[in-house]
Structure 1
Amino acid sequence: MKLTPKQKKFADEYIKTGNATQSAIEAGYSKKTARSVGSENLTKPDISEYIAKRIEEIDKDKIAEQKEILEFMTRVMRRQEMEQVT
């Protein structure tokens, strides 16, 4: 999966905004062709695969894993860490 710098920038912007046209413009594509380039980029397997993997990584970072939760709860129970509710 080898993306050009423009394709990677497009994909990273698309992950942030969900807007293909604006992402194409931010990546440096012409405003005149941004809409068609944005749509076309989303159909390219390498770009869509990159977007899917990055979203998966981002989502994974947001959710605590079972081991992480157990370690935290153990520290709280042993009074090594105070539980904080925000």
Structure 2
Amino acid sequence: MGMTEKQKRFADEYLIDLNGTRAYKVAYPSVKKDQVAATAAGRLLRNVEVKTYIDEQLEKIHNEKTADAQEVMEYLTAVMRGETESSVLSLCGDGCQEILEKPPDEKERLKAAELLGKRYSLFTDKIEHGGDIGGVVIVNDIPKPDTG
């Protein structure tokens, strides 16, 4: 059957900020009251076709826009190794400004190394236990062999 134009408009608007009330009022401008729009939006969000469309679009957005774990780890590694560059504004006197490309400084590289270390659990915190361990008593009641 397919979605109506208004349902698609609602879904596209909803994807902007996930605000069903606002999206419904854009797609159905004759609705002025927030309560009516919120109720109708909730009903539309349960519509199988609308829900499927929104889920598919969210997945596309996620795939295109969101860094995955591998990308984050590769970036942190590049920063730690000093292989990246960032733009910094430099003043060169008499009101002159220029943008320089520079590798990460020691502090930035250290932070990247720390984040990678946490990811790989390279650092363990020493835990001291000063509490009572429950009155453990060791009893040596093993009979000695008879040597006589």
What TM-score, normalized to structure 1? 0.68
Distance 1:2 1:21, change over 3 A: same
Does residue 42 of the first structure (1) align with residue 53 of the second (2)? no
Per-residue CA deviations over 1:5-30 (Å, capped at 9, x if unaligned) read 10001101111111111110011251
The number of residues matched between the two structures is 70
Structure 1 unaligned spans of 5+: 70-82
Which residue matches 1:5?
A: 5
Which residue matches 1:58?
A: 61
Counterpart-to-counterpart distance in 2, 1:84 and 1:28: 48
Structure 2 unaligned spans of 5+: 72-82, 87-148
Counterpart AA for 1:25: K
Q: How does 1:72-83 map onto structure 2 within 5 Å?
A: none
Distance 1:63 1:17, change over 3 A: closer
Higher relative contact order, structure no. (Cα contacts within 8 Å, ≥ 6 residues apart): 1
- State the Cα RMSD in Å: 2.3
Counterpart-to-counterpart distance in 2, 1:84 and 1:8: 42
Larger Rg computed on CA atoms: 2
Distance 1:45 1:85, change over 3 A: farther
